[in-house]
Structure 1
Amino acid sequence: MTGQSIYKISFVNQGKVYEIYARSVGSSGIFGFIEVAELCFGEKSSIVLDPSEDALRNEFAGVKTTHIPLHSIIRIDEVTRQGKAKATDIQKGEAGNITAFPLSAYNKPDLKNEH
């Protein structure tokens, strides 16, 4: 075992639940985001081709680091083995009712009561 952690990140993006794998996950320098780097995809093979993983590989081609909004994250797991990256459609009634909860970390000052 190499001792380097692998993380499975599940998040919601544009009506899909993404499951990606990465070697580095942490706080982003951009407020309200998680930084995900060193994305892991299965080895390219001419014999076996997984279209969903290949689509994600193409979507993230050339991406060194991605920043995912905190409110889009479903969960982050440290796993022992890398699985297949995938993106599945969220359809009403299927896969639970996954909806990003809108929230703001800032409280607007009440200007009406200030003198």
Structure 2
Amino acid sequence: LHVITDDLYRKPMFFLDEDKMDDLKKKIREHSEEQIQKIVDEYAVDIKDQCSIIIRDGKPYTEILKEEKESGADLIVISTRGISGLQGVLYGSVTEKVVRHAACSVLVVRKVINRES
């Protein structure tokens, strides 16, 4: 599941008419799907046929919790921080909301740190 935050579409883009905005949304979705497919192809070789790519628009934590309910998920795996990457914060706000409100277990993973340095 990948959620394209609705904040992206709220930013003032007075220079884009409705058709161009729709085209931008389509390109963002296509790019997201391509990038996720690359990850699946590289890291999920043995279980590719069991993977599905779901892309939603909206508030990330809301869409994650909706998908949990709709799919009957028994585990959510989520990163400690998303795109905002606030330093010094244990969890990002999306992660915190998902951990607090999910009905199933949540596995929170950290970014890999270069241990050689």
TM-score range, shorter chain: under 0.3
User: TM-score if structure 2 supplies the norm length?
Assistant: 0.25
Structure with more strand by fraction: 1
User: TM-score if structure 1 supplies the norm length?
Assistant: 0.25
Structure with more helix by fraction: 2
Flag the structure with more relative contact order, 1 or 2, with Cα contacts below 8 A and sequence separation at least 6. 1
